[in-house]
Amino acid sequence: MAVTLVNPKGLPQPEVYRQLSIATGSRLVFLAGQVARDADGRKVGEGDLAAQVEQAYLNIGTALAEVGGSFDDVAKLTVYVVDWSPEKLPLLGEGVARAAAKLGVDPVKPITLLGVAALGEPDLLVEVEATAVLD
């Protein structure tokens, strides 16, 4: 595995993400922000944050599989959520958990969560960027 996840001593020890990742692979993969669209470009989960998060994570897994990797190779995620509020955290977690179950992975990664006013298309509630490291 090219990515080792760590919660260093002296920093908070969150359960839902890790503070840092140590990458030892030789190929960096930068994914464009993934949204709630299937392989044919159809909308998934309109108005449903959990469904949209799930699809974005699944899209990351699909993209990485195409280049010989998997979601386990993700070193860092950035998640953009429209009109973020702490009340949306359970829906975010639900979508992540459903995708993780389908992908068979531990979804806990270093993550930056940003609330935004809007995304590129009005029906989108979330967009997820990923950086991965492959051997």
Report d(CA 130, CA 31) in Å as an integer.
5
Query: Tokens 């949209």, residue?
Result: 52
The answer to whether the Cα torsion of 87, 51, 77, 103 is positive or negative is: positive
pLDDT for the residue numbered 135: 87
**Using CA atoms in the order 42, 47, 51, 54, what is the torsion angle rounded to 10 degrees?**
80
Strands 3-6 and 74-82: unpaired
pLDDT for the residue numbered 1: 66
Going residue by residue through the chain, which has 135 residues, state the pLDDT in tens, using 9 for 90 and above.
679 999 999 999 999 999 999 988 889 999 999 999 999 999 999 999 999 999 999 999 999 999 999 999 999 999 999 999 999 999 999 999 999 999 999 999 999 999 999 999 999 999 999 999 998
pTM of the entire predicted model? 0.91
Token pair listed for 42: 């159809």
pLDDT for the residue numbered 131: 96
- C-beta of residue 2 within 8 angstroms of C-beta of residue 24: yes
Q: Which CATH class is domain 3-134?
A: alpha beta
pLDDT for the residue numbered 87: 98
Considering only CA atoms, give the Rg of the chain.
Answer: 14
pLDDT for the residue numbered 100: 97
